[in-house]
């Protein structure tokens, strides 16, 4: 009898601990945000600064880098030129050609006396050869895995860092959707080489990228990285206004949700959205439909036949019908996996970073996004979006209605776990 009681208590404890992984914030947004002003209205910027946290800063320059052929050389060059500090946080870091190059570059700078601090998500590093970790640590890189498997992390195993942040000397930053894996090499020329964009950033907003890195560094190590090597005085580098904000289940989990809802509600002419994983909640769907009702043109670009998460591919389509019926244009990218995360509102606001348009990113992951308020940059990113549309097929309401019964049944099966995908 005693052993039965003990076993029951232990089993109940395990279930309760594991159940913590499916919790989101205690209080979530529940009501649609109404359209009150445009993105161009000063009130919009005031509220984005106040509600998301970091203030919008002027004097920045943001340069988009397309696919691995542009992205990796720029990041590796910046690492090679570091003089004082490198801070690097990523979700995916796998073995392979590019993983080895980054490990060697980081190790070389550490041996040269540069303070190199690296955070890699434990789940995202499971395909990484341990020798890459060991070689960096042996060279003096301060490297930590985010929430590795252990008994005291069981209640938060489902909460991962999905942030992609690289900051050099506190002066040059990179963010976007790219992981350190060979799938991102090349120029998206075939299904083995993914389509993605990364952004090189200079100016005062780089300090906010550094603060975003510090957020999880403190959680992982209990240490804060400060001083002029991490937070130097930053002069204007361009004419773009921008801010970098973070979201996390442990604090500010609704920031990303709120940003999307405010931006969609402010749209008056056009919404362009590229999303590698598209599983929105009811409020986001309602916001897109409400925008259409105001006469806003809504174009959504999603992965087509090449998507690395089958469950997401199935669950995503369940919502396409009401969006298509409302007049939302959905296009599916054909050549390879589309991994970009891009939102452009009214040719003025551009939001980029690690965040996917799904509830896992919004409620469960640690994410970081950069908002840029600049018409010239927005027009350039619209041109990038439209170039990708040339490699996509429009998806019709009729096609959705006549999709196979097996797809419809699979969508129903996945419905209870949509927020975890």
Active site residues: 162, 164, 169, 339, 341, 346
The residue written with tokens 């040269």 in the block is 112
Are residues 304 and 332 in contact, defined by beta-carbon separation less than 8 angstroms? yes
Coil, strand or helix at 75: helix
Euclidean distance between CA atoms 313 and 305, whole angstroms: 9
Euclidean distance between CA atoms 162 and 90, whole angstroms: 7
Coil, strand or helix at 367: strand
The residue written with tokens 């002003």 in the block is 37
Residue 87: C-alpha distances to residues 10, 35, 109, 276, 290 (Å):
41, 39, 12, 26, 41
Are residues 171 and 163 in contact, defined by beta-carbon separation less than 8 angstroms? no
Coil, strand or helix at 297: strand
Euclidean distance between CA atoms 93 and 166, whole angstroms: 13
Phi/psi of residue 194, nearest 5 degrees: -80, 155
First to last CA, the chain: 41
Q: Which residues are paired to 109 by β-bridges?
A: none
- H or E element that contains 379: helix 375-389
Helices (H) and strands (E) in the chain, counts: 14, 17
Euclidean distance between CA atoms 322 and 320, whole angstroms: 6
Please give the structure tokens belonging to residue 381. Answer: 């990113």
Q: Are strands 297-303 and 329-333 parallel, antiparallel or unpaired?
A: parallel
Coil, strand or helix at 44: helix
Are residues 85 and 170 in contact, defined by beta-carbon separation less than 8 angstroms? yes
Give the CB-side neighbour count of residue 207, counting CA atoms within 13 A. Answer: 18
């Amino acid at each position: 009898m005693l052993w039965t009681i003990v076993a029951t208590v232990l089993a109940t404890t395990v279930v309760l601990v594991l159940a913590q992984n499916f919790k989101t914030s205690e209080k979530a947004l529940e009501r649609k945000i109404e359209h009150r002003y445009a993105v161009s209205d000063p009130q919009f910027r005031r509220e984005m600064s106040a509600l998301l946290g970091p203030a919008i800063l002027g004097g920045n320059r943001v340069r988009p880098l397309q696919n691995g052929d542009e992205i990796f050389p720029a990041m590796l060059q910046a690492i090679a030129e570091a003089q004082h500090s490198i801070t690097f946080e990523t979700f995916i870091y796998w073995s392979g050609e590019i993983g080895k190059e980054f490990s060697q570059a980081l190790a070389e700078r550490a041996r040269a006396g540069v303070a190199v601090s690296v955070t890699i998500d434990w789940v995202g590093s499971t395909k990484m050869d341990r020798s890459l970790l060991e070689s960096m640590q042996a060279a003096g890189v301060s490297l930590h895995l985010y929430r590795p498997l252990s008994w005291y992390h069981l209640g938060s195993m489902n909460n991962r860092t999905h942030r992609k942040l690289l900051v050099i000397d506190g002066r040059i930053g990179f963010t976007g959707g790219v992981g350190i894996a060979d799938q991102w090499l090349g120029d998206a020329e075939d299904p083995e080489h993914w389509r993605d964009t990364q952004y090189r950033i200079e100016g005062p907003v780089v300090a906010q990228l550094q603060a975003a890195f510090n957020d999880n560094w403190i959680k992982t190590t209990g240490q804060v990285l400060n001083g002029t090597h991490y937070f130097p005085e930053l002069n204007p580098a361009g004419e773009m206004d921008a801010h970098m904000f973070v979201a996390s289940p442990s604090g500010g989990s609704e920031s990303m949700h709120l940003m999307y809802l405010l931006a969609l509600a402010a749209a008056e002419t056009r919404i362009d959205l590229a999303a590698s994983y598209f599983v929105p909640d009811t409020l986001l769907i309602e916001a897109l439909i409400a925008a259409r009702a105001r006469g806003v043109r809504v174009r959504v670009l999603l992965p087509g036949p090449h998507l690395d998460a089958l469950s997401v591919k199935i669950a995503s389509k369940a919502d396409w019908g009401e969006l298509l019926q409302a007049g939302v244009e959905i296009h599916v990218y054909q050549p390879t996996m589309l991994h970009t995360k891009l939102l452009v509102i009214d040719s003025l606001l551009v939001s980029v970073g690690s965040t996917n348009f799904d509830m896992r990113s919004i409620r469960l992951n640690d994410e970081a996004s950069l908002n840029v308020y600049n018409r010239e940059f927005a027009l350039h990113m619209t041109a990038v979006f439209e170039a990708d549309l040339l490699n996509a097929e429009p998806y019709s309401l009729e096609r959705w209605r006549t999709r196979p019964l097996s797809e419809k049944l699979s969508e129903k099966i996945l419905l209870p776990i949509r927020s975890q995908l």
